[in-house]
Chains A and B, each alone.
Chain A
Amino acid sequence: MSGAASRRWRTGSQPLLWPALALAALLAINALFDHGFLVISWRAGHLSGSLVDVLNRAAPLALVASGMTLVIALRGIDISVGAVLAIAATVAALVINGSSAAAATGGGPHLAVALSAALAAAALCGLWNGLLVVGAGLQPIVATLVLMVAGRGAAQLLAGGQIITIYNASYADLGNGFLLGVPIAVVVAAAIVLLLAVTLRCTALDLFIRAIGCNPAAARNAGIRAGLITMSCYVFCALCAGCAGVLVSANVRSADASHAGELIELDAILAVTLGGTSLAGGHYSLAGTLIGALIIQTMTAMIYTLGVPPETNLVVKAAVVIAVMLLQSPHVRRGLRRLATRHVLGEGA
């Protein structure tokens, strides 16, 4: 095992090496320009510091990207996560406001009702996507495009075109509070991702997903229930988006149907590809995705610490996407290697 691992290190095909190095480099740059960046202190009963901030802000993205990883591993893609996030946030806000108006106590049961309503709405969206992909056999990008376009409309319809302000304090704590000193958003995201990782490790699900992603027909012939697994992955992805919707709306104490989670589908796909998961399916890395989400958030933090105008955020992101794609492309790698060997040979001669 360790022999195989070291061989992989030597040949440079260790999948997590490059993303981890990129994250380390970004953190180092941040620490260089802002000396307090890596300092974590205990203040006012909770952890505080730039790193905690980055983790807290990366939590919703990490959640959405984790769900997206499974879908992409199955050769699919889910571009409706932003819309699902908005729907879940709107449903949660409507339920929590409705119930707190009835009983101003703002106790636990209302929160539980709101959360389950939001997650149920998200699961329904996932089921819809899964039905279109598995049942109707549509291309994943088209199937989820439908919900991406219509979903925001539905969320606006639910919200009556308004931004819903949330007054419930315990709901707002989900996005702003701390559990044992750690931001609740980070705890929630970590718990869900850990649960997913354990499920993948301890069951054959990981193997099944890789098999379906590599070759769906062969997997089906081998007796894997590809349809059921694909369907559950879309539902899980939507559930992750729903959780993120709750976290995002709790953080800003309001649900904005038209702008909540805008472009998060793109950030999530970016996080997944940054983590070394191939869009062609079959090979995926959940840890890589988490690193990818952290890279994106650290990059945003870096733009602020460097004092670069925040408008450049998109340009930097685009540059990183292009660089990562080029580095991942086998064609480009082959070309670079050929160039390198030619260079070495030229120096030798």
Chain B
Amino acid sequence: MSAALPAAAPRGAPRLRLDARHVPLAVTVGLLLALLIVGGVRYPGFFTLQVMLNLLIDNAFLCIVATGMTFVILTGGIDLSVGAVAALTTMISAVLLRQHASPLLVIPLVLLLGALYGGVQGVLIERCRLQPFMVTLAGMFLARGLCYVISTESIVISAPFYAAVAQLRVPLLAQASLSVGALLALLVVGAGAWLAHASEFGRTVYAIGGSEASALLMGLPVRSTLVGVYALSGACAALGGVVITFDMQSGYGQHAAGLELDAIAAVVIGGTMLRGGTGYVLGSFVGVLILGVILTLITFDGTLNSWWTRIAIGALLLAFCLLQRLQGRGGRKETR
């Protein structure tokens, strides 16, 4: 498809013309820049490197979860269980650490459990042909419920390893620094982008999102990829939960409340179509940053209340959905 496009373009057309598929991503990046400029002009001290890096540090867990969610949405599915899985991760970590388990054992274990949890949901969706929405909804109930079965109270994590990781800052230039969580987020986004655009797994994901029936007919490993996508999302949610334990130093059933909505919003704002097949991991990363900038702007302003965040996110969601819709119409007209 992409190889055929330049040939189809009329001769002498400007080379800089945006590919229609890149419009949502371009709008997303443009919006991020605009928000940053507004912030920089209105609030002194906004345009410092550390404020920018704090965007990443404060939203590291969301970056990680949104990356996993991008893959799920690219296949045309949805994963509502991510927030609950992250909360369950913090809970299991806290309980194991209270029993003096080694953090180096606990972290791989919870990641594995997250992948397993997502994988089981994937099997239910793929083998039993159940709706992703319903399966992951049940998964959300189950994971949150398990949190409360473990304990209704918050469990403090007192392992020195977690305290050390939380305080560790990786210095960058000009006295600015990044946290371990932020580095993990960058790593996950990088790996996610590679996986989506340069691996067989990623190509199958896009193919399934385009048309599952065609992907099956093409002989692509649709079944294992679908299960893999949900396992990946579960593992990302668990890693997000690990980053939350670094930040919070506790396990609690109400951690990461509403995380699934923020992640879906970030993915949609990042230009990924909810019906699957189109979108970018990097777009979701930018989407997370936009959500972060809005929060930061509201904090810097000081007169706006936190509920404006929700209204702003809702408005952005609407704007991007309408944009995608317009684009979808335009695209269809072109092909006809």
Q: Measuring CB to CB, which residues of chain A are less than 8 angstroms from any residue of chain B?
A: 77, 132, 136-139, 141-143, 145-154, 156-157, 161, 266, 269-270, 273, 279, 309, 311-319, 321-322, 325-326, 329-332
> Beyond A136-B321, A273-B134: 7 further Cβ-contacts under 8 Å?
A145-B317, A149-B261, A150-B318, A151-B314, A157-B307, A311-B148, A315-B141
Given contacts A142-B274, A331-B128, A136 and B307 within 8 Å (CB-CB): no
Given contacts A139-B274, A142-B321, A147-B314, A315 and B146 within 8 Å (CB-CB): yes
B142 near A: Cβ within 8 Å? Answer: yes
> Would B311 and A154 count as touching, CB distance under 8 A?
yes
In the complex, chain A residues whose CB is within 8 Å of the CB of B255: none
B194 near A: Cβ within 8 Å? Answer: no
> Would B141 and A314 count as touching, CB distance under 8 A?
yes
Q: Measuring CB to CB, which residues of chain B are less than 8 angstroms from any residue of chain A?
A: 78, 124, 127-131, 133-135, 137-142, 144-146, 148-149, 152, 261, 264-265, 268, 274-275, 305-311, 313-315, 317-318, 321-322, 325
CA distance A312 to B145 in the complex (A): 6
CA distance A34 to B148 in the complex (A): 25
CA distance A151 to B313 in the complex (A): 11
Q: Interface majority SS on B: helix, strand, loop or mixed? A: helix
From B78, B133, B311, contact of A153 by CB (8 A): B311
> Would B322 and A318 count as touching, CB distance under 8 A?
no
Q: Interface majority SS on A: helix, strand, loop or mixed? A: helix
From B130, B138, B309, B325, contact of A138 by CB (8 A): B325
Given contacts A136-B325, A142-B268, A150-B315, A317 and B275 within 8 Å (CB-CB): no
Query: A-B pairs with the 5 shortest C-beta distances?
Result: A150-B314, A314-B145, A153-B310, A315-B145, A318-B142
Number of A-B contacts (CB under 8 A): 127
> Would B321 and A315 count as touching, CB distance under 8 A?
no
Nearest CB in chain A: distance from B149 CB, A: 5
> Would A329 and B310 count as touching, CB distance under 8 A?
no
CA distance A188 to B200 in the complex (A): 57
CA distance A105 to B75 in the complex (A): 60
CA distance A330 to B129 in the complex (A): 9
CA distance A142 to B320 in the complex (A): 11
> Would A146 and B134 count as touching, CB distance under 8 A?
no
CA distance A331 to B127 in the complex (A): 8
From B129, B141, B152, B314, contact of A146 by CB (8 A): B314
Nearest CB in chain B: distance from A319 CB, A: 8
In the complex, chain B residues whose CB is within 8 Å of the CB of A279: 131, 133-134
CA distance A316 to B145 in the complex (A): 8
CA distance A202 to B211 in the complex (A): 42
In the complex, chain A residues whose CB is within 8 Å of the CB of B78: 141
Given contacts A161-B305, A314-B141, A149 and B317 within 8 Å (CB-CB): yes
CA distance A43 to B314 in the complex (A): 48
Q: Closest chain B residue to A320 by CB distance?
A: B138
